[in-house]
Amino acid sequence: MLMRRQFVLTLALMPVTFGIWYAAGTLFAAPAAWVCDLIFGLAYSSIIDSTGLQGVEMVVVTQFGETSGSIMSAAQAGNQIMLEINTRLVSYSIAFYAALLMASNVKDPLYKFCVGLFWLWLIMAFGLASILGRDLLMMVGALFLNAPGVPPADLIALTYQFNVLLMPTLAPVCLWFWQLRGSPLWEALAHDIKRASAKA
Amino acid sequence: MARFLFLFCGVLGALFAIEMLKPVQEAVIQPFTGLLAALSTAIILPFDDTVIAQGRILRDATTGFAVSIEAGCNGVEAAIVLIAGIVAFPAAIKHKIAAIIAGFFFVQALNIVRIISLFYLGQWNYTVFEWFHLYLWPVLIMLDVLVVFAIYLQWLGKNIPNPEPA
């Protein structure tokens, strides 16, 4: 009964949380873009020049340039390739998480939401970095792969699949489940889990 | 709980790595994705005879609009999450197998609804199509996984009788 209530309420709240997320897209994306900027500045300064946010697009200025269709270093080309990444591709996890949490009867929901938001921003940063990795792999190719600290192409593909296609929906569920402890739904679930695992 | 989390993450990572292997993509994932397109077409055809399936592509012969079912759209990732959860949770092997088969069916049934809905949403309004494709349907599919797993837990608890008191 509690589980049914949880799912119905989650579905009912989704238009509200997605509406707020859409209206305040830049606000929800900014911390993740800032973490990305920090990571790129520390670990990939030979690849990324600067990172910024324009609306919901994360704008990345690379150290690569293009002349007559050939990709080369920005210094050689005299220009810099700029990439735009749609932050909504990963930030919708916040709207999903908010709907899941608000539908549950948890204690200190605002505090828990803030904690969850912190983790989601970190996860989002990895998602944005994975999108950038894939875009650079497709656009720059060998020059990018040969740069120091760049993982192999297969690993870039795997992390993209994991961080962009899966984590925006899996991470909110894991966070919600972790924060559910102590709630009536958790008690009901724990009862089911105890019964099931005791009989296994 | 720690054991469940450890197993869940391990199985999830392993299945993802296997799914990404080129031979697996060629022998399993791509034919399966083609099958999804064919199934979607078979479901639509009695109501709309202008739709045709070409491999992984679903096309409307009149408008020319087409959707291609790509990685991340075939429901395999969602099924992997469900399988990892079922495998990680302590239960008898026969129950796990039954849950994986039933769960895979439920996830794919909703995924076919997703493909068909996106095919028509795309012909109606591209902005709405993008919203559903990129943000709403992934959430609904994950909710489906969660519902199936919750039902599985309840079923496990109820299905096997409690031990008789001495």
Mean pLDDT (whole number) for A159-166: 90
Pair A54, A60: CB distance under 8 Å: no
Q: Is the pLDDT of residue B45 over 50?
A: yes
- Under an 8 A CB cutoff, do B139 and A92 touch? yes
- Under an 8 A CB cutoff, do A161 and B72 touch? yes
A67-107 residue pLDDT tens: 888 888 888 888 999 999 999 999 999 999 999 999 998 88
Q: What percent of chain B has pLDDT over 90?
A: 45
pLDDT category of residue A179 using cuts at 50, 70 and 90: very high
DSSP H helix total and E strand total for chain B: 7, 3
B8-32 residue pLDDT tens: 999 998 998 898 888 998 899 888 9
Closest by CA to A84, choosing from A58, A50, A66, A47, is A58
| Residues belonging to chain B with any Cβ–Cβ distance to chain A shorter than 8 Å | 16-17, 20, 71-72, 77, 81, 89-92, 134-136, 138-139, 141-143, 146-147, 150, 153-154, 156-157, 160, 162
Q: Is the pLDDT of residue B165 over 60?
A: no
Per-residue pLDDT at B166: 44
ipTM (interface predicted TM): 0.88
Residue B164 is given by DSSP the state: P
pTM: predicted TM-score of the whole model, two decimal places: 0.90
**Dist. CA B152–CA B98, nearest whole Å:** 10
**Residue from the list A11, A170, A189 with its beta carbon closest to the beta carbon of B153:** A189
Pair B101, B150: CB distance under 8 Å: no
- Under an 8 A CB cutoff, do A189 and B138 touch? no
**Residue from the list B16, B142, B153 with its beta carbon closest to the beta carbon of A169:** B142
- Residue of B130, B143, B145, B149 to mutate when probing chain A, most A C-beta within 10 A: B143
Residues of chain A contacting residue B107, judged by C-beta atoms under 8 Å apart: none
Non-local CB neighbours of A142 within 8 Å, separated by 6+ positions = none
Q: What percent of chain B has pLDDT over 70?
A: 95
Q: Is the pLDDT of residue A50 over 70?
A: yes
Q: What is the 3-state secondary structure (H, E, C) of A82-135?
A: EEEEECHHHHHHHHHHHHHHHCCCCCCHHHHHHHHHHHHHHHHHHHHHHHHHHH
Mean pLDDT (whole number) for A137-159: 90
**Residue from the list A96, A168, A192 with its beta carbon closest to the beta carbon of B153:** A192
pLDDT category of residue B55 using cuts at 50, 70 and 90: confident
Per-residue pLDDT at B132: 94
Mean pLDDT (whole number) for B149-160: 81
- Under an 8 A CB cutoff, do B138 and A169 touch? yes
B90-107 residue pLDDT tens: 888 999 999 999 999 999
Per-residue pLDDT at B22: 87
Residues of chain A contacting residue B82, judged by C-beta atoms under 8 Å apart: none
Per-residue pLDDT at A167: 93
Residues of chain A contacting residue B162, judged by C-beta atoms under 8 Å apart: 195
Query: Kind and range of the H or E element at B54?
Result: strand B51-54
Residues of chain B contacting residue A10, judged by C-beta atoms under 8 Å apart: 143
